[in-house]
Structure formats: C-alpha cells, structure tokens
Structure 1
Amino acid sequence: MESLESAAAITPPDPCRTPPRSTSTALTTPERQKKLSHLLGQYLDLSNASTKPWMSSMQTALDTSVEGELRIQELKNFCTHVHWTRMLNLLRTHRASLPSTLTCAVFDLTRHPPAIRPLKQFTTLLKILDAATPKLADQPPSQCLKRLLEYAFETQQPQDEMLASTTASSFSATRFHGPCLSLLNVFLQAHNPLFPTQPSLDVDEPHRATAEIDSTNDSERIYYAKVLPVLQSSGFGKSRLCVELSTIHPGMLVSVRNSMPADAVSFPPRDAHVCDYFDSSQTILTKQSSNKAHLHVLAWIALYCDTIAHYLSLLKKASNCFDDKYGCKSSNHQTCWNTVIFYLATAIHSSPSSSFVPLSHFGPSEPLCPRSKHTLEHLVLSPPTRSMPEFEKVFDVDNPIVNITAARRHAPDMPTIHFRSEMLKHISNHAQDYYDCIIKQHDALLSSPDCVITAVHTFLRPSVLALESLSPKKVRPTFPFLAFDECGSIAMLLPIIRRLWFRACPASTWILLIDTNSDLAPLSSKSAREASRRMEDGGTYQLCESFSAMPIDVNLTDHDRSNIANLATCDSSSLTLCQLNLLLPKLGRPLWNDVLYHSQGYLRPLNIITKLVSPAGWGWPHLTSVSGSPLDENNQNSLALASQRIRIQLPANSGLETFHNFVQEQISQHLRYIGYISSTSEFMVTSTPSEPPLSVAAAWQFRSGTLTPHLKWGMVIQSLVAARAPLGLDVGAQGEQGIMLLCTMAADMVARSMYQGLLNRSMTPATIPKDIHEAIVAPITVAKWIETLIGSTYIEVPWPPPSSRYADATLGQPDASFLGIVEFWLWVEHAWINFKHIVKLEKQVSQVKEINPLLLPELWLRHAAAQGPSAQPGWDLLIPIYHTPETNKPPIGEDRFDSEKLSYIAIQVKNSINVPKGTKQEPVGPRLAALSLPRQCVELFIDLRSPHQHDGHRYSQRRFTLQEQLAGDECYALGSGNLEGVVCWWKGSRPGVGLPARWCPVRRLASGGGLPG
C-alpha cells in the first residue's frame, strides 16, 4: 500500500555526510514571518519620541510627490540613523529564526560572524522602490520597512572578496567547449521511451515500457520514474550543465543547498524561498504524517510545472510563429520552437531582470527564427521596470473547485526586478496555499492508502500534461525538466519525489537530482534501495541509471587545441614554454579555470588544495604512525593527495560497508571521479583522471611546509598499508606501483631542495601567483633526480657481452669507456623533467612502430608521466625529458617549445625470482619518430629480486654503428638487451635514419641493496 511504502522510505541522511541543520530550520515560513514582524515591531512604535522622526524620514523618501533631492536626503537620513543600525544588529542576532530570503539579502553569510552587506547607492535604491507595486507610499510602515530591507543592500560580492575566498567559486565566464550538453541530451532521448506514460490506480500492477535495446534484441524493460541523478564530484559543471540544458529544453535549476556559511559563497546561491518550503516538508514528514509530506511536495511540483507552462505559453504566443493563419511554415516550427525555449532560458537566467548568470555563459545551440527573435529579444532583454506586489492568496480552501491556473494571474512579469527569485517566491507561496486546499479536500482520505495516488491524478498530473502539451506537433521530442541542485539537503524527500513522479507518469518531463553524494542522489546504497520495496534487487521496478559523463578539458578553445596538436611539429608550434604552463587552468575539470584558482594562468595552489582536502584547512599532522582505519580523516586526506600523484586503483565493489563509505567520502569531499554507478547494486567505478592543475597543487602540498616530502610520503605509505586489505587496493603485482611512488617522492625531494625559498613564500595567501610560478611548475634536472632515486655510484661494464655478434665493432668504439659516464652526467645536468602525476594509457604503445609524435609533448604539457596498460611490452613508466644544452635555467621561459628537445626516461620493473633471458634482452623504451638529429634517452631496468650489488649499479654504453642502423628492428632489439646486473647506455651516430637514434642509459637495480634513502 502507498502509505506503508511511503513510511518505509523515510531514511534520515547520515549526519557524517550531510551537516546537521540547526533546530531553527524546523520553523515554518509563517513562523519565521511572525518572528520578523515581532522584531520590526519594536521599531514601529510612533509614540516613541525618537522613532517618530525616523519613520517620518522613510515616509518622505517613499513619497513620489516630493522633490527628488529631498527624497534622497531623507532616505540617507533613514538608513544612517542609529535605529537602523540597532535594528540590523537585532536581526543579525536572530537571523536563524528569520526568513532565509531576508537574511541572505541583508547579511553576507560567508563572513564569520555574518556581516551586514553594503548599501546600494541611494539614487539606485530609490528607483527600485518607486517601481514597486503596489506603491509603497500607500502601504503600512511594517510592509514598507520589510521591502526596504529586501532591496537596500548589494547582493554581489566585491571582486577582491571573491578572490580572497577559498571555499568555492562562481561559474566560469566563458562557454564550455566539451560535448557534455549533447551527451545529456542523447541520454534523455535514449531513456525516455523506457518509462510508462499511462498511469494506473492499481498499486501492485507494474507499468511496463517496451524499448528497442539494440538492433538484435527487443526486450521489455521495467523502470521506476523519470528521475535522473546527475552525479559527479565537485567542479565538473553539473549545475551549469542544467542551466545550459534549459536552452534546448524548458526548465530551470533550483538550488536547495544547506544554508551553511561555507556554502554560501558557492554558485549558484541557495534559493531561500524553495529551501524554506522544503524545510517545512521535512518537518511535516518527521512531525506529522508521510501522506501530508507527499501532498506538500506535490503542491510545489505542480505549481512549478504550471508556472513554466505559463511563461512558455506566453513566449510561444508572442512569437507569432505558430498561428494557423499568419504563422511560420510548419517545416520551420523546429527553429521557431528552439527560439521560444532559448528565450525562456534567457528570461529566467540571463535577462537584465534576473541577472542570475551572464548571457555569455551560453548561446543558442541551433539557429533561431529571425521572425520571432526580434520580438522575444525585446520582451526578454528589456530593462526591468516593475517590482513584485505583495503576495495575494488565490486559492480558497472553502471552494471545492481548485484551479491551479488561477495563480498565473499573479505570476511576476518578465521585466520584474529579480525575476527569477520572484518567480520561485511566487511558486513557493502559492504552493503553500495549494497544499492547504488539497489537505482540506482530502481530509477524510489522509489515512487511506489511496490518498497520495488520488491526489497525484487530481492535482499534479494535469499540470504536467499542460506543460507537455505546449510542444508543437512537428518538432523533435522536448523534455521539460526540473533540476534540484545539491539535493542532499532534501535527502529525506527524494523517495517522495520519485514516488510522486512515478504516479504522475509524465510522457517527457524529467526531474534531475544533482549532487556529489552517491548515497543520496542515486540511492545506490543498500539501505536506501531497500527503503522502498519497488527498488529492491529482484523487485518490481528499476531506478534510472545515473548520468556522470562529465568530460574534462572543456575550457580549451578550438585555437588552444590547434596549438596543442602542433606541438609535435617544430615548424608549426607557436607556443612558448611559458604559454604551455599558462594553459594548465584550462585542463581537467572546468572549476580550475575560475579566477579563484588562477591569476591570468598562474595557478593558486593554496586555493586548489582547499577543494581536495577536507576540512579545507587540513594540514599534514606531525605523526609517527597513522590510524588503522581507512575512514580516518588523515588517511582520507593523505590518500586523496597521493591519488593525484600516483594511481590508487580501487575495486568496483568490495561488498564492504567500509569500502562504500570510503569511496563515497573520496567522491563527495576529495574530488574522485565517478565513472559509473549501478542503480541495482553497489557496483561503482571510480578513478582520478589527469587534472594537471590539481596534480601540480598536490605536488606543491607535498613539497612545501615544515614537514619534508619523505615524511609526508611515509605517512601515505602507512595509509596505504592500513587501507589495502579493507579496501582491496591494487598496489601492483610486480611492485611497479611502489617504484612509481619512489620516483614521485624523489622528484618532490629534489624540487624542495631546488625551490625551497619560493616554496616557503608560496605558503602565504597574499603572495602574487606569478612571483612563485617557478616553484609551482618546478622542473627539476634529471641528474639530481637520478642521484636522489638510485645514488651516484656506478660500475662500468662492457656492452654488449663478448658473445654478441656485434661485440667486436662495439668494443672498439672510443666512447665505450669511462668518458661515457662523464659525458652522461654532463647531459643529464641539462635535461629536465616536470612530471607531477602518472596517467595510465588506454592502449599499448608498440615497441616495433614509432610512438605517436604527440605523446611526449602532451605528457610534458600535462606535467605527467605515462604508465603503460596491462601487458605493455618493455617499459612500465615513461617520463618525458626536455633537454636545454644552451642554458642551466629551467625550461619555463619565453623560448619557443621545441619538440626536437624531447626524449624520455623509460622504466621497466620486474619482481620475479628468475627473469627470463629474453625479457632482459628486449628493448625497454619505445621507438621515437624519424629524427633530424640524434636523440638521447634514459632507460632504467629495475629487478627487485636481483642480488644486492655492494659496489654500485652496473652501467654500460654503446653507439649504433651504420651496420646496426641499416639492420633495422632486429638490431634495435639486440642493442637494447639487458644482462643480469648490467646497466646499458648507447646513443645514435647518424641523424635522419628513421630508427630510434638515441643516447640511452639503462639502469638496473638489485633488490638486495634497495633504493637509496
């Protein structure tokens, strides 16, 4: 039965995940308004000798018959009076009990304690007050005072304060260039046919929808409701995606985030009217009854659908495109409909009346109708001229007939000041009255199992059908939507929303749930699925799969991509080494391109790190040991930092609660990427894609501060040990993950020694990012890195062994001597590496064919090293090298990037008792493309089980002879072989042969001695 099903679905959110609300949030909107009236009443007593002249100043300022200069002076007197200051301080003290709209309008909640916002200019404020309807001069003093408080203060933060914040950021000011909007649109098109469109009053009768799954298999699919979780970790533009979605489908984004001071800086801001309404819904759910809570939520969704239908209908009619006699041809109706939808999105989000986001954020994805464009543009983009009148009830609880469209007469006009906010206020206020009418009519049925079902069919479904009926006949499917941003704040209501939408059976309207918490939005956890019997494994219905396909690098323009593609060609590359690093903010998730995280391309690592660690001010603790629990705060943070440097691979599903809690925390608080979340099990795929700004900032965190890198990495190792068994971490069967950790740690130790002074300066928030840029991007010399990693003691051995068929030719060469070691060290002192993280390649790199010429340039651009996929022949790790023989300065200046100066360090790791001889003799590094000059490379062959070499690492060199170059691949394989305990080095002798002309030291380490340090 519905009532039993509803009651079972009430699962309070985990307090460890959702910050607990204060008890004041349980107050209903009328109670908050009553509290406000009581506080303001203390300053409205006209019998008080000091209050009367103060209120007289307000009345004079609002009187439009008075001369303008006098009005402005009286308004200034009123807003600078001691009573004004005392009243604001009183309101600040009681802000938790006041309407959220008022507290957000008057106080800057990002400050601690909350600060009073700056006043608008008095001339501007007076124009706004004059536009109010009804005229404020005709209203009682209490109403005038409330309206004055609502409009008196600036709502935008000054730019310098925005930059000083380290908690969140605003939308980027430019358009995204990625395919995310298209992917979401395709997702809706593919999934929409899978859901029922005809309602049934039978609770136990499943609704089946037939869809063509593929060309060879038609099968019945059973789904629950058109409620789509849009899930991804923070900063991928989920909120912005839904704003952009409104340009192709009618709908809007509503923010229901918690009203916490740290959250208030984030964009989009909290929609206070909506949050207050749903706070009341949650209070009804916990203190009254489940059925009443269903009806309360139902009322708001019904008013939303009717209001969107109202504005869509107005624009459709104003376009004159769909008139049977004078309209456009039916063949053009798709373009006409696109135009109507686009200008609805513009009115809600980017019109001068709303100013929610700049118009530059998005544009029409398809051509607009030239006939209606001018008309709708004038209607939507005209300056605001009206103010919203006081709320007036339109629903009579004593009237047995309730027509929801009656609220349209009181909907704000598009040129209304704060149109978007006023529209949501209109929906919430009238929804409360609509709910009262529903309760009155269903009073006898409130305890009935059919109460909610009947109410949906009577009060919700008609509004949904009215919205969907506006779509013209000969156009592509239109998907109206409602998007709840940060829906974790209304976690208790999500089962109700799904259930109501299931009963409404919309043909094409979707509800989108946006969040980072995989427990809340998709209800993927076992306890949440079992909260409703229809969501159990093997139950009647299946939840909609979540959408998480949020691409990276979407801030790169077409021009940027063209420049990157030309990096492999010396003649075409136009970027300097400095310009390469200034592209970093455009890589990874869209968040890093916000001005909060960089200054003209120069990264702000301190701000970036606050998004990765939790809480934002976390620092490395001075500990000799760490907790044995993976859920410990220090373990969570250290593993989050390490996962941006080395690959920490988690299984898809361990079946353990500890695993699920750890992964959820990494997603919601530590930016781990969601690849896939199953709606029927706990199967979850997560990863850490290449995000250079984040990895560079994580490297800075390891290298700066009082603790040394090796102490921080020691803590990471302890955390990995603590988490390995409970989480099923993959640490590499051959020990390659351990070697990658050591390579990264060695790079951090070298960078700290080279840039210590700048790193110390970078810890100060006020430091100019450009001044510390060198320490942030921090290239280091190969010489210092190799010495830190494996030491500097070598024993030269001949190469190849005497048994080789090329032995005579090779041993006779003059550079097969001690001079080779000296020459090698001279070279590596001018060779630089810059890797900060390790990326795993999707496809194997052939050892026979030449590598993609763009591979090394892109790795250098991304400050990355490459890990080969499973069964990659030869190397396990490939690190790009940039050689600067003409200077000792790091390659980050104004010199043009030259791909001819790129080579690599190739590392192969073996952890077997007996390494096959064939494996030892195979090449380690890949083949470079045809070269115009000899290219020097470095190869390290590390055998973790080889005997300990007390006298040093084995080293050798050889030069390709002309005979060997002409021999091609066969000679290449022989020349790359490795002997037990032998390290090899060779270099090309002739340019332009199309073979891997390279000068390549190959180092092999014995496990007995281990790595130095």
Structure 2
Amino acid sequence: MRVSTIVTPNPAGLLTLLTPYSSSPCSCPNRSVRTPLGRSAPTVAEILELAAKKLLNSNDFEPSDTNQALAVLSQRFGLDICFGYPDAVSYVEKGVASHLRICFSTTQDRSWTFTGYPSEPLLSCVAAIILHSGTSSVTRLGSTLWALNEKVNEGMVKIGQRGELVSRLVLLLAKDMYVRGHLSEGTIRVVHHFGSRDAELIDCQKVSVVDFLQYLFGEMFWLLAGEEAKTAFQHAYINFSHWVSMTELISPGPGPGDSKQPTLEIAEEWTLRHWVRTSAVLCCDLQPLVDKMIPIYFDDPTLGSDDLKRVSQIFISDKAGKNPIARELGANTRKHDTIRCSSTLPYITIRLDFNVEPQLNVTFPERDPNDAETDRSLRINASGLKETTFPFLCESDITIFLRRLISREEEAPTQMNLDALVKFGSTAKLQNLQWETQD
C-alpha cells in the first residue's frame, strides 16, 4: 500500500484520512492526493508528520506520557478500556479531544460516550513508525509496554480472559520486527520521508507467510511442518497493520424476517476487504472456535484474476482452557455455520496458550475423504511465552513486559470469581454457584 490517501482539511483543522476500497489488492493501487484549489499538494513527509502530531498531540513521542503511549497502542492493538476504572472517562475524553480518538455516539444526557480508533492503515503505519523509530527503538517499545502494564495493573485496560491482548501484541509486534529486519527497497520507514510518493508504507507491504512463520516460530518450523506444507503456502502473503473488532459472528445467518440463507461467498468478501484494508480481525466474544483472523492472499497467477478466489485465512484461538476438547485445532473448521468459508485454498489454524510450558506442535494432515472439508489446514499449537517457542523475542526486551501481562492474567480470576459469585444463580455454571471455593 502506498501513501495514496485523500487529504482534506476540515473546519476543526484535523486530518481526515480516507482509504477507499480497491478491486486489486495485490497490486496496491495508486491513489491521488487532492488538495484545495490554489494549494500545492502536501509532501509525503508533511502528511505523515501531521498524522503523527495529531495522534501524539505533540511534536515528540514520550513513552512515559500515558495518553501518548495508549494512543499509539490503541490505534493498532484495539485496547479495551474498563469504565469501572476511576480515570477511564477522563482518559477517553482527552483521547477524543487530543489524540484522534473518535466519538462514535453518545447518550442523550451525554453521561456515556462510545469511542474508539477506526481502521486507518496510514495512521496505523505512523503509529508503528513512532513505536519502533530511533536508535533506542527497543527501549522506546519497552517503555511504551511498561506504560500499558501499569494501566493493566490498575484495571483500566482489559487483558481478556484467555490472553487475547497478549496474543494481539505478540503477533503484530512479530510482524513489525520482521519487516524492520528485512527492509524492502524504497519503502516508507520514517515519518520524515522525502522520497517518492509512490513508495509503499513499510507496515502495509505484503509479507511471505513462509518467511513470517519461520521468523515467528523459529528456523526449525518448516522442518516440523514438512516440505508439502511449505510448498502449499509458497505464494501466500499477509499484510496486516492493525486489529479491528467485530460485534457479531462472521456469518451471523439471516436476520429477522430474512428467509435467505447467507451465501458462502460472504467469508471471501470479508477476508478480501480486510486484506485490502491491511487489517486483522478480533472476533466477537460469541464467535465459536476462533478468536482472531489474519487475511492471507495467494499471489499465484494460476489461480486466475478473481481476487475472491485468491484469499484464505489464519485463524487463531486463544488458550484452550480447562476443557481443551472443545477447542481442538481439528475442530477449527472454516466450514462451520458461523464462518461459512467456501475457499478450497489451504489455510492455517493457530492455538496459543501462554500459561503452560513451552511447546510447539505442527501438523499438515491429509484431508479425510469422509470429511466435508475440501481444503487442508496447517495446524499449529504454540504454548508458553518463551524464546523456545517464539525465538524472535530474543531480539528485543519486550518479553518481560509480555510476561507481566500473563502474570496479571493469572491473578485476574480472583476478581472474576468474585464477580461471578455476586451473580449467584445467573447460570448453572459452578463459577456462579460455588461460594465455598473462595478463600
């Protein structure tokens, strides 16, 4: 993706960044920069610098400034704010006023507002550049994660019940580090870019799935997966620059009064549009089997010109829990009624569990002729948040901060158990019934 946004100054002086959909995601289409009559087109550097300044509300990034740190992280990692925290309202209000956070709606009495960061690839790339730039970029990243840790410990930022926040950080930071360790010629990698306007944004460029999985899980990964699996994904690419959240199932089925069943092409259209947008997906809490999706695009001319026939997915499940049978990798079929993907291209399922001993299991099973599945999946079970499972962590000082989030996750059940018991009898689950288990 190139810096091809439409830049329109609005009355408030903010930068409106719009990235329209393209029917050719592989080629990363050129888009023009429109400016008011009589004004010269802004340079790439001016666009990026303005975006950075508006996001930070400052010319410089200071990781110890909580509002700046959370703005940079929220735009890409989908931080979930807990409104039971005393300072949550003031943080959100300041984010809207000074850090490009968007107010989606408000109640009539204005006592509640619903806010967040919308999907915007250019702003995501700017946030990534801010996070990783400078000679002390590792220290800058660590300091930013430290600020996040403090707010998690204070209860303002939710971590999720199955390690959802940590897995978002691990997967996207791994891609950040990969592209910066394997720089492509002519990409935009700094805010003060004075090169070609047609250069690609470093965090929106396509990355080989084969190379990324080897970087994420180590040099031995494809020896474990097998040559057949490696060949199956030799033309596959990812390009996600940020996470976006869903509020309903991937394939929710017909709505009230709608007699039509959803078509199987919905999942392909959904995947393709996220590929073009360079976004990965956080599934809603009610989504069975999977918690996240990263789009895959097969840049293989033998597949024809229809982009809908070129997309596939990486589905991620966070933490098997006490009843792993329900979340077995083999059960993560994309033909499930709540996903309904008709693609015959190979796909990937990853199950992450950071709270156990490190272990990496990889399989690429043959298709069962008696199974409804017509495609094959590379199944990855990655356990433990250590360098033995994720070797890329050796390249930075972020492991300690991620482990602190995991330790916080282990402490959280005490509060969650109390919350569940306050709602005694609301379900037949033991967590809503067993008062005697409290210390």
TM-score normalized by the length of structure 1: 0.33
Please tell me whether residue 660 in structure 1 is matched to residue 89 in structure 2.
yes
| Matches for 1:681-760 after TM superposition, within 5 Å | 682-708=111-137, 710-726=138-154, 728-755=156-183, 758=186
Work out the CA distance in 2 between the residues paired with 1:620 and 1:876: 33
Residue 720 and residue 779 in structure 1: after superposition, are their counterparts in 2 closer, same or farther (change >3 A)? same
In structure 2, what is the equivalent of residue 263 of structure 1? none
- The offset of 1:752, in angstroms, is 0.6
In structure 2, what is the equivalent of residue 956 of structure 1? 363
Work out the CA distance in 2 between the residues paired with 1:775 and 1:723: 29
Please tell me whether residue 869 in structure 1 is matched to residue 248 in structure 2.
no
Deviations, residues 408-451 of structure 1 (Å, cap 9, x unaligned): xxxxxxxxxxxxxxxxxxxxxxxxxxxxxxxxxxxxxxxxxxxx
| Matches for 1:223-234 after TM superposition, within 5 Å | 234=14
Query: Which of residues 249, 266, 269 in structure 2 aligns to 1:854?
Result: 269
1:905 counterpart SS class: strand
- The offset of 1:748, in angstroms, is 0.3
Q: Is the 8 A contact 2:187 2:200 kept in 1?
A: no
Please tell me whether residue 840 in structure 1 is matched to residue 268 in structure 2.
no
In structure 2, what is the equivalent of residue 943 of structure 1? 353
In structure 2, what is the equivalent of residue 923 of structure 1? 331
In structure 1, what is the equivalent of residue 77 of structure 2? 646
Work out the CA distance in 2 between the residues paired with 1:921 and 1:768: 45
In structure 1, what is the equivalent of residue 210 of structure 2? 783
Residue 618 and residue 866 in structure 1: after superposition, are their counterparts in 2 closer, same or farther (change >3 A)? same
In structure 1, what is the equivalent of residue 52 of structure 2? 609
- The offset of 1:997, in angstroms, is 3.0
In structure 1, what is the equivalent of residue 309 of structure 2? 900
2:53 aligned partner, one-letter code: T
Q: Is the 8 A contact 1:581 1:777 kept in 2?
A: no
In structure 2, what is the equivalent of residue 1011 of structure 1? 390
Residue 748 and residue 661 in structure 1: after superposition, are their counterparts in 2 closer, same or farther (change >3 A)? same
1:769 counterpart SS class: coil
Q: Is the 8 A contact 1:702 1:748 kept in 2?
A: no
Q: Is the 8 A contact 2:15 2:51 kept in 1?
A: no
Q: Is the 8 A contact 1:581 1:861 kept in 2?
A: no
Work out the CA distance in 2 between the residues paired with 1:852 and 1:863: 16
- The offset of 1:1005, in angstroms, is 1.5
Query: Which of residues 190, 194, 208 in structure 2 aligns to 1:766?
Result: 194
Query: Which of residues 968, 978, 1000 in structure 1 aligns to 2:377?
Result: 1000
Residue 884 and residue 857 in structure 1: after superposition, are their counterparts in 2 closer, same or farther (change >3 A)? same
Work out the CA distance in 2 between the residues paired with 1:748 and 1:735: 20
Structure 1 gap ranges (5+): 1-167, 173-231, 237-551, 568-574, 627-632, 797-817, 888-894, 969-995
Residue 598 and residue 651 in structure 1: after superposition, are their counterparts in 2 closer, same or farther (change >3 A)? farther
Residue 669 and residue 962 in structure 1: after superposition, are their counterparts in 2 closer, same or farther (change >3 A)? same
2:51 aligned partner, one-letter code: I
Query: Which of residues 152, 160, 170 in structure 1 aligns to 2:9?
Result: 170
Work out the CA distance in 2 between the residues paired with 1:576 and 1:795: 28
Residue 579 and residue 721 in structure 1: after superposition, are their counterparts in 2 closer, same or farther (change >3 A)? closer
- The offset of 1:877, in angstroms, is 1.0
1:779 aligned partner, one-letter code: K
Work out the CA distance in 2 between the residues paired with 1:741 and 1:957: 26
- The offset of 1:667, in angstroms, is 1.0
- The offset of 1:641, in angstroms, is 1.1
Provide the aligned C-alpha RMSD in A.
3.8
Deviations, residues 70-116 of structure 1 (Å, cap 9, x unaligned): xxxxxxxxxxxxxxxxxxxxxxxxxxxxxxxxxxxxxxxxxxxxxxx
Work out the CA distance in 1 between the residues paired with 2:384 and 2:127: 30
- The offset of 1:680, in angstroms, is 4.2
Question: Alignment length, in residue pairs?
Answer: 367
- The offset of 1:715, in angstroms, is 2.4
- The offset of 1:861, in angstroms, is 1.1
Rg bigger for which structure? Answer: 1
1:879 counterpart SS class: strand
1:938 counterpart SS class: strand
Residue 580 and residue 712 in structure 1: after superposition, are their counterparts in 2 closer, same or farther (change >3 A)? farther
TM-score normalized by the length of structure 2: 0.71
Work out the CA distance in 2 between the residues paired with 1:867 and 1:881: 15
Work out the CA distance in 1 between the residues paired with 2:345 and 2:129: 31
Query: Which of residues 289, 292, 295 in structure 2 aligns to 1:880?
Result: 295
Residue 660 and residue 846 in structure 1: after superposition, are their counterparts in 2 closer, same or farther (change >3 A)? closer
Residue 171 and residue 636 in structure 1: after superposition, are their counterparts in 2 closer, same or farther (change >3 A)? closer
Q: Is the 8 A contact 2:320 2:351 kept in 1?
A: no
Q: Is the 8 A contact 1:650 1:730 kept in 2?
A: yes
| Matches for 1:490-639 after TM superposition, within 5 Å | 567=23, 575=24, 577-580=26-29, 582=31, 604-615=47-58, 617-619=59-61, 626=64, 633=65, 635-639=66-70
Residue 1008 and residue 661 in structure 1: after superposition, are their counterparts in 2 closer, same or farther (change >3 A)? closer
Residue 794 and residue 750 in structure 1: after superposition, are their counterparts in 2 closer, same or farther (change >3 A)? closer
In structure 1, what is the equivalent of residue 431 of structure 2? none
Residue 691 and residue 795 in structure 1: after superposition, are their counterparts in 2 closer, same or farther (change >3 A)? closer
Work out the CA distance in 2 between the residues paired with 1:774 and 1:746: 17
2:297 aligned partner, one-letter code: Y
2:80 counterpart SS class: coil
Work out the CA distance in 2 between the residues paired with 1:847 and 1:956: 30
In structure 2, what is the equivalent of residue 910 of structure 1? 319
- The offset of 1:917, in angstroms, is 1.8
Deviations, residues 462-516 of structure 1 (Å, cap 9, x unaligned): xxxxxxxxxxxxxxxxxxxxxxxxxxxxxxxxxxxxxxxxxxxxxxxxxxxxxxx
- The offset of 1:614, in angstroms, is 1.9
- The offset of 1:598, in angstroms, is 7.1
Q: Is the 8 A contact 2:282 2:293 kept in 1?
A: yes
Residue 791 and residue 695 in structure 1: after superposition, are their counterparts in 2 closer, same or farther (change >3 A)? same
2:158 counterpart SS class: coil
Work out the CA distance in 2 between the residues paired with 1:699 and 1:896: 32
Q: Is the 8 A contact 2:25 2:276 kept in 1?
A: no
| Matches for 1:181-260 after TM superposition, within 5 Å | 234-235=14-15
In structure 1, what is the equivalent of residue 398 of structure 2? none
Work out the CA distance in 2 between the residues paired with 1:897 and 1:597: 35
Deviations, residues 539-578 of structure 1 (Å, cap 9, x unaligned): xxxxxxxxxxxxx96x85xxx6xxx5xx5xxxxxxx4633
Residue 693 and residue 897 in structure 1: after superposition, are their counterparts in 2 closer, same or farther (change >3 A)? farther
Work out the CA distance in 2 between the residues paired with 1:661 and 1:233: 23
Q: Is the 8 A contact 1:643 1:688 kept in 2?
A: yes
Work out the CA distance in 2 between the residues paired with 1:824 and 1:834: 20
Structure 2 gap ranges (5+): 1-6, 254-261, 394-439
Q: Is the 8 A contact 1:597 1:605 kept in 2?
A: no
Percent identity among equivalent residues? Answer: 19
2:378 aligned partner, one-letter code: P
2:157 counterpart SS class: coil
Work out the CA distance in 2 between the residues paired with 1:596 and 1:608: 16
- The offset of 1:719, in angstroms, is 1.2
2:160 counterpart SS class: coil
Residue 763 and residue 842 in structure 1: after superposition, are their counterparts in 2 closer, same or farther (change >3 A)? closer
- The offset of 1:876, in angstroms, is 0.9
2:274 aligned partner, one-letter code: L
- The offset of 1:827, in angstroms, is 4.1
Work out the CA distance in 1 between the residues paired with 2:46 and 2:350: 33
Work out the CA distance in 1 between the residues paired with 2:40 and 2:238: 28
- The offset of 1:867, in angstroms, is 0.9
Q: Is the 8 A contact 1:233 1:673 kept in 2?
A: no
Q: Is the 8 A contact 1:734 1:910 kept in 2?
A: yes
Work out the CA distance in 2 between the residues paired with 1:855 and 1:717: 31
Residue 925 and residue 716 in structure 1: after superposition, are their counterparts in 2 closer, same or farther (change >3 A)? farther
Q: Is the 8 A contact 1:875 1:907 kept in 2?
A: yes
1:963 counterpart SS class: coil
Work out the CA distance in 2 between the residues paired with 1:824 and 1:603: 44
